[in-house]
Amino acid sequence: MSTPNPNHLNGQVFLAKLLTQYALIHEKTIGSAAEEYIRQLGLRTGEWLEGYYSEKNEQWTVEKYVDVLVDIKNKINGHFEIDTIDSDHIVVKAHKCPFGELVNDSPHICAMTSSVFGGIAARRFGYGKVDLRQRMANGDPVCEVAVYFNQKDELPGDEYKEVSVAPENGDPFHWEEETIKMLGEELRRSDEMIESLVSEVEDLRAQVKKQS
């Protein structure tokens, strides 16, 4: 393993490393439920970011929506660009992830992009479906993300509709009791699954001992 160049160390790299490693440990601890935590965080982060671009009730065009997405990603050290703008969907591509190569440590963190993009679409247009067509975290040469504004069941992707909106002058990061309970329930189910697997392994071990 080569020694990293200290000139490449900065606040962005440091925070990205901490976040991706936290996400990795979180996923290894609770399994697939970790993605739901990322999703909920992305929904609220997206609403917070929207506040930098307009008032809550301002009507957005599709063009403004995609411009905001690209601007957000590029301001946080990504390299995103518009590929397609249509009345019912948009496509953006990225040649650099805000987390850089560190995203390879925790590919499930891409759920943040999905929920930020989808949450903003749902709040501004009433509906969003996000298809992460390509992901550099999975070895693809670029990231390619499509967002659809009309419900089409035949299309792949994560759906976003009826997402929560913070009250006027409220804090999007004020976590509702229902959300905390839901995440707690996901964690409980993950714990039960792990306990069940451990029990099965112990039973199998006991059977092997009897046969030997």
Question: In this predicted model, what pLDDT tens digit does every residue of 109-122 receive, in sequence order?
Answer: 788 899 999 999 99
- Which range is least confidently modeled, 45-54, 66-75, 203-212? 203-212
Question: Do residues 78 and 98 lie in contact, with contact meaning Cβ atoms separated by under 8 Å?
Answer: yes
Q: How far apart are CA 96 and CA 74, in angstroms?
A: 9
| pTM for the structure as a whole | 0.72
On the question of pLDDT at 161 being above 80, the answer is: yes
pLDDT digits (tens, 9 = 90+) for 67-100: 999 999 999 889 999 999 999 999 999 999 887 7
Find, among 103, 168, 114, 167, the residue nearest to 136 by Cα. Answer: 103
What is the predicted pLDDT for the residue at 167?
62
Say what the pLDDT of residue 196 is.
64
The more confident residue out of 21 and 67 is: 67
> Is 90 exceeded by the pLDDT of residue 148?
yes
